[in-house]
Chain A
Amino acid sequence: MTDLIHDPFIQSSALPLLLSLLAVGLIHTVRPGGALPAAGIGATYLAVHALVVGVPALPPPSGMGKLFWAAVAGVALGALIDAAGWRGRAGGAAVATWLAASLVWIAWPVLDSAAAAVGLAVLLAAGMGVVFGTGGAPADSPVASAAVPLALGLAVGGTALFGSSASIAQTGLALAAAAGGFLLWNWPVGRHGAGASLRIAAGIAVLLAGMLTFFTGADAAVLLLALPALLAGRLHRHLPFDRTAAGRAAAGAVLTVAAVLPALAAVAAAYALGGGSSPY
């Protein structure tokens, strides 16, 4: 059992999927409906991060430690907003502030060049896209919103896999798996709303992208290829499926695949640029 838990592949896939199914289910049992159960994605991420990298000291001396504590704050913030039922711009503004502050906090020690400043600006723009630009899907269909952290986690994790950072790879893929657990709870029928906790989960993927950009030799620019995943919500309205259970199930599957395809393109680009091999 101990060997299984320490297996990097289990830590990045089956374990977070299982933990997410349990966490979302537990929150669903306590607070059925609403947007709060998506906090299970972030909670699962934190558990896997602690398992893979360890719980960092406070104050954290490194970027990875800052990422962990920023994620803790974000998950708590998202849960608070969703538990309180805050909707609209106030909740979005709070999440955006959290994401921007976290990115700057993480990047601060290496913001000593124009390239780093440009990297931060691109990440901030992508982060604002994650927070404010993922709408468009019907309110009772969280699949499009949940497909975003799945796709971005997959893109970051897959990109990191090729020689830059195994811990970012593992935690990115774990985030994707955790989002997959939430998606399974909402497929074929949507049970939960898309609120701040889902945006926080996607925001964690942006923070991981920041780690790749600022602290590794990865070709992080390939992650731009994954950004069309943010348009999954808008795509939803154009799908030719009716509002029956079967139609919603089909729409959910198509949206998830549509969001994952750009992420796979980013991973393929990282594979090609990285010489196609991994040191693991």
Chain B
Amino acid sequence: MKMQTLFAAALLGTVALSGAVPAAAAPVAYTVDPAHTAVVFLVDHLGFASAIGRFNTVSGEIAFDKEAMENNRVTVTIDTASIDTNHAKRDEHLKSPDFFNVKEFPRMTFTSTRVEKTGDGAGRLHGDLTLLGVTRPVVLDVTFNKDGVSAASRKETVGFSARGTIRRGEFGMSYGAPNIGDEIQLLIEVEAVKG
């Protein structure tokens, strides 16, 4: 009896490994494509207009499950020294301890905790953002745009758009408020390639 059980288990394992039996779908690993990813922010400047900036060095991983979006997972790392507002002096200031304090905190990270499906191809991405050594929960409204082989790179690619708002003061970045807005709007466009 014992021998029969072992034989059955071995047979099942062999069949599963060979792909003869369909396994449950699992998230597929994608890597953020920095050339086609943009992390952009808008912040009020003295009430006159919004200043716009971006981070030029972004990396990350996405575990993508098209059939069950709630299984998706995201980790993103941003080099804070890559901030770019198209004004060198202002960028130096933004790198200072007044804002991103890049010498002490060279990176900020986002790690998703769960995905909440809100519609067809849309969801809310919950996660923890660590900035200036402070970790706070944030929520991004995410739209799944497309997946498939990119006509440009010939690689399996997936694309998302995300929008959200954070309050910089919650991360200890209080300098200049309220003249420079506390509320930061985030516009994120991501392409990630398989593997």
Chain A positions near chain B (C-beta within 8 angstroms): 6, 8, 52-54, 56-57, 61-65, 109-110, 163-168, 211, 214-217, 277-280
Q: Do B104 and A163 touch across chains, with their CB atoms under 8 A apart?
A: no
Q: Do B175 and A215 touch across chains, with their CB atoms under 8 A apart?
A: no
Interface code B82-96, partner A: CB below 8 Å = 1, 0 otherwise?
Answer: 000001011011011
User: Closest chain B residue to A169 by CB distance?
Assistant: B98
- Range for the number of chain B residues in contact with chain A: 20 to 34
Contacting A165 at CB < 8 Å: which of B89, B96, B172? B96
B103 at the binding interface (Cβ < 8 Å): yes
- Write out the residue numbers on chain A whose beta carbons fall within 8 Å of the beta carbon of B50: none
Q: Do B133 and A53 touch across chains, with their CB atoms under 8 A apart?
A: no
The 9 A-B pairs at the shortest CB distance, nearest first, are namely A61-B133, A279-B89, A54-B174, A165-B96, A167-B98, A279-B90, A64-B97, A163-B89, A215-B97
Can you offer 28 A-B residue contacts whose CB atoms are under 8 A?
A: A6-B179, A54-B175, A61-B133, A62-B97, A62-B101, A62-B105, A63-B101, A63-B104, A64-B101, A65-B172, A110-B103, A163-B92, A163-B93, A164-B93, A165-B93, A165-B96, A165-B98, A166-B98, A166-B175, A167-B96, A167-B97, A167-B175, A168-B98, A215-B101, A215-B103, A216-B97, A217-B92, A278-B89
User: Closest chain B residue to A55 by CB distance?
Assistant: B174
Q: Do A214 and B103 touch across chains, with their CB atoms under 8 A apart?
A: yes
Q: Do B172 and A164 touch across chains, with their CB atoms under 8 A apart?
A: no
User: Closest chain B residue to A278 by CB distance?
Assistant: B89
- Write out the residue numbers on chain B whose beta carbons fall within 8 Å of the beta carbon of A163: 89, 92-93
Q: Do B93 and A279 touch across chains, with their CB atoms under 8 A apart?
A: yes
User: Closest chain A residue to B179 by CB distance?
Assistant: A6
Contacting B93 at CB < 8 Å: which of A62, A64, A166? A166
Contacting B172 at CB < 8 Å: which of A56, A166, A167? A56
Interface code B69-91, partner A: CB below 8 Å = 1, 0 otherwise?
Answer: 00000000000000000010110
- Write out the residue numbers on chain A whose beta carbons fall within 8 Å of the beta carbon of B90: 279
For the complex with contacts A57-B172, A62-B132, A63-B104, 14 further pairs of A-B residues with Cβ separation under 8 Å are A52-B175, A54-B169, A54-B175, A64-B97, A109-B104, A163-B92, A165-B93, A168-B96, A211-B97, A215-B97, A215-B104, A216-B95, A216-B96, A277-B89
